[in-house]
Amino acid sequence: MATARKIAFNFIASSVGRVIGLFFSLASVGLTARALFAEGYGQFSTISAFLFLFMGLADLGLYSLMLREISRPGADEKYVVSNFFTLRILSLAVFLVIAFLAVFCFPYPREIKMGIIFCSSSIIFMSLSQLLMPIFQKYLNTQKAAIAEVVGRALQFLMTLVFFQMGFGLFWFLFALIFSSAATFVVNFLYSKKYISFALGWDVNYLKKILKMTLPIAASIAFTMIYFRGNTILLSVMQPQKDVGLFNLGYKVLENLTFFPAALVGLIMPFLSKSAVENIGGFKNVMQKSFNLLSIGAIPLAFGGLFFSKFIVGILGGQDFIAAESSLKILLFSVVFIFFGNLAGNALIALNLQKKLAFAYLAGAVFSIFANIFLISKYSYNGAAIGSLLTESLVTVSMFFIIFMGIKWSPSFSVFLKAVGAAIIMCLPLIFFKAGGNISFLTLFFICCGIYFISLYLMRGITKEDIYSFIGAK
């Protein structure tokens, strides 16, 4: 129970930090979008998507594999982290060179090509920060990473606010992203050294072993990035930059929300890795509890988005982005599948089924390319949103099918269905009131949250025992 309380504390602390960071992040998005308008924000988004694509390729699956390796009994943590950190730096160097060469093959204007080269350092800092997360997850101190996140986001917001007021252009907002990424990495690095005093490691045999183990995961990550970032890349080539801006305003909301399943699954990954080897029954139990918790969090986001989307895009981008409402509604339903997909993907890694995981992501990547080409040509940014929803659903269902074939487990949908019922009840006041109209957004938000959790409790989607366990009262 002490471990469960610590996990709960870390999840709450990480979530609180992320909510604060989410506020600063979305405020920065709003200021950037309003300063650059739809077309300029489209350029900003194209630069970010292009670099994030190559950051994902450079990941090589090292994050998930390092978390698994340092969670093994008797692991030499300093040795493991040092070698993984070195390999991440080498992979970043290789893929950034490829990115610099590849950008000149795209029909982008000079501003975008130069912006990609200028902003590349931000990807280095982000990628190295990500690799340090397993250390905090192993020691159940993810609140330290949350502090680093808040520091970086707050700095980005302050710089963005200054640049907005001074009427600066695209490259200044890119500089704010670079500076905030560097600050986040420095704070993460200083905190992580308190737990594991690592340095650069160069054991060639071990590096080869890592690469051999991580190739299936690396392939999975590559395929994931193709369908997670490829929609923006295809949209930027097939449609005007204004459409890219409209799509990515909503996509930025989706990206920020995906932290929550990643935080939860990252905390339970050490237990999944251990129980996958020692106690498969315990593994199934943790999977079901995690599935239930993700259901409780994901379902109201999708249903609430049907009513709050217009208000959200209006607050973030103003009148120039109102057309983004429709794509945001679609993307918020994608969030449901991303929540569950995060759990399933990490479960497959814990079960050492990463080779089969790669096939699920490959299917998603191939489907995404063809679906997006067709849908974007017909429906532009709404087509990209539909493509994301279809791809995420395909990949997530495929991963759970692989888990079922491997260990004969599939989730119970009891809590999921109760969450759907509670979310439907939650939406009833939204039919009669408008956020920002005859009632304030915050008032309506808290009313809906209250209705949702009360309804879920009455349906026994959440029990007293769950609440007591979570807050440590029992």
pLDDT tens-place string over residues 228-266: 888 999 999 999 999 999 999 888 888 878 877 877 787
**φ and ψ of 439, to 5 deg:** -155, 145
Spell out the domain ranges in the chain. Answer: 2-412
Residue 109, CA distances (Å) to 47, 84, 99, 115 in order: 11, 37, 16, 10
Q: Which of 399, 283, 382 is nearest to 339 (CA)?
A: 399
pLDDT of 470 higher than 60: no
Identify the DSSP state of 439. Answer: B
CA 159, distance to chain mean position in Å, is: 24
| Partners of 439 in beta bridges | 435
Q: Which of 238, 228, 177 is nearest to 377 (CA)?
A: 238
**φ and ψ of 440, to 5 deg:** -70, 155
Identify the DSSP state of 461. Answer: S
- 468 or 151: which leads in pLDDT: 151
Q: Find the angle CA(254)-CA(257)-CA(260) to the nearest 5 degrees.
A: 150
Q: Which of 60-64, 247-251, 469-473 has the lowest mean pLDDT?
A: 469-473
pLDDT for the residue numbered 406: 87
Structure tokens at 141: 């101190």
- With pLDDT > 70 as the criterion, what percentage of the chain qualifies? 92
pLDDT of 458 higher than 70: yes
CA dist 333 and 18 (Å) reads 21
pTM of the model: 0.81
Structure tokens at 453: 């959790």
Confidence class for position 174, pLDDT limits 50, 70, 90 = very high
pLDDT tens string 287-307:
998 899 899 989 998 998 888
Q: Look at residue 108 and give its three-state secondary structure.
A: coil
Confidence class for position 85, pLDDT limits 50, 70, 90 = confident
| C-alpha atoms less than 13 angstroms from C-alpha of 156 in its C-beta half-sphere | 31
pLDDT of 82 higher than 90: no
pLDDT of 465 higher than 60: yes
pLDDT for the residue numbered 466: 62
Structure tokens at 79: 């040795």
- Summary mean pLDDT of the chain: 85
